[in-house]
Structure formats: C-alpha cells, structure tokens
Amino acid sequence: MSILEIKDLHVKVKEEPEHPEILRGVNLTIKSGEIHALMGPNGNGKSTLAETIMGNPRYLVTQGDIVLDGQSILPLGVDERARAGLFLGMQYPAEISGVTNAEFIRAAINARRPEDDQVPIMQFLKDLDKTMAILKMPEDMADRYLNQGFSGGEKKRNEILQLMMVHPGLAMLDEIDSGLDIDALRIVAHGVNLMRGPEFSSLIITHYQRLLDYIVPDVVSVMKDGEIIETGGADLAKSLEKTGYEHLKVGDANA
C-alpha cells in the first residue's frame, strides 16, 4: 500500500520565473489500488502536474509538497522517483535513434532494480513477447529504434508496453488516448486494466469520457486554471460529457 499526496502545489516554469504560476495550489491524493482520472480543458496544467510529479527539471515548485508514503519526493531526481515506483507515459513520446525498443525497455526495467538483481535476458524476452502479443503489436516493433517511424497510435501502444514491462507502483498516463482508433483504445485500456491491483495506482489524464468507458476510474478530478475545481466518482466524467467544463468554477471543489 502506498499513497501519493499532492499538497497545495504551486508550480512555475523555471526559465520563466516572471510568468504567473501554472499550478496554483493543487491538492490531490492517489492511493494504491486506485485509478484516478484527471480531466479538464486544454492548457490548464494537467501535463505540468504529471511532469512535476515525475521531477522534470523544467518545472519549479514554488510552494507546497509532493509526498510519497509520508516522505517528500521534491529532493529526488527523475531516476530516484522512477526507482520509488513512479512512471510517466508521455503525451508526445520521444523518438530515439540508435536504441531499439527492446533495449530501451530492458534498460528502463534494470534502472529500477538493484545492480546485483538485473532482469535475466531470456526471461525479459519471454515477457516482452507475451506482453506485445497482449497489445497486438507486431514482433518487429521490439527491434525497431525507439518510436522511430511509429504512428501516433503505435507510440501510445508502445507507452503501454513500457508500462506493463516496467510494472511501476504509480503510472501517470498523459492523453494516452489521443490519436487512437477505437480498436487500439480498447487494447490499450485492456493493458491498463490488466495492471489493476492493490499495489498499482494510476493517474489517467484525458479530456474525453471515451477512454473512461473502458478504464473505469475510482476517482475523477477536474483541473482548471491550475487548480482542482471538482472531484467525484466515475459518474462525474459521464456528466461532464453532457455539460462540458464551462459551468465549473474555481472554488467549486471546496464548496
């Protein structure tokens, strides 16, 4: 059991300290076993929150804290946060030439394990095969350079492959549904649902209800102007689909 607490988090872009804060006092708790959906209109700080939790050095925490199992993770770098069980699936996955997909995933797994307990290669390849089959990915994608020439949908599927192979405690998935057709969406959702269990939690960022028809969240929060303005259950996502975000105001969540 683990618990991540975002407490009154205020964040700016480090290179633009004169600009206003992007996050303006975010409070959010994610418990293991839980799927937490983060919704809200574009440009309101959702990706910034995920990047800041992961430790992207471009973002500066000016106030508040991020606490994992009672300990602030703010002093930790990205690698240490990954070893602590955090994972971020990207909205725009990077392409890397010269590193195959399989090599990248094995390195990501091993970076999270002690040096004297690296994953045996045969076991790794077996797990990789099995997981790629679940995600209906062609075998040759393991040997292609990371994300190079992958379509938008293939990149997203590849993020889920990494997720399932790495098996983090907390997976943040940023608009993993964008660019996916309905079949790919179902497969990706199936992958995430297979991860569900008492030792796994996920923060799923999306603006659409569609993904949440397949990955039913335990908690739904809505972010606007850098604050959480509403929190509820899976039914909140359904009602937002009808009403949109316009009627929600900052302060509603505390009302």
Binding site for Mg ion (CB under 5 A): 24-25, 46-47
Residue 44 C-beta: closest distance to ligand ADP, Å: 4
Q: CA 13 to CA 19: how far, in whole Å?
A: 8
Residue 217 C-beta: closest distance to ligand ADP, Å: 17
Can you tell me which residue has the tokens 């405690």? 169
Residue by residue, DSSP assigns 64-122 as: EEEEETTEE-TT--HHHHHHTTEEEE-SSPPP-TTSBHHHHHHHHHHHTS-GGGPPPHH
How do the residues of the chain divide into helix, strand and coil, expressed in percent and rounded to 5?
35, 25, 40
By three-state DSSP, how is residue 60 classified? strand
Q: 25 touches which of ligand ADP, Mg ion, none (CB within 5 to 8 A by kind)?
A: Mg ion
**Of 17-56, which residues contact ligand ADP (CB under 6 A)?**
22, 42-48
Total residues contacting ligand ADP by CB under 6 A comes to 11
- Residue number with the smallest Cβ distance to Mg ion: 25
Residue 46 C-beta: closest distance to Mg ion, Å: 5
Q: 153 touches which of ligand ADP, Mg ion, none (CB within 5 to 8 A by kind)?
A: none
Among 23, 32, 30, residue whose Cα is nearest residue 5:
30
Is residue 92 part of the contact set for ligand ADP (CB under 6 A)?
no
Footprint of ligand ADP (CB under 6 A): 13, 16, 22, 42-48, 58
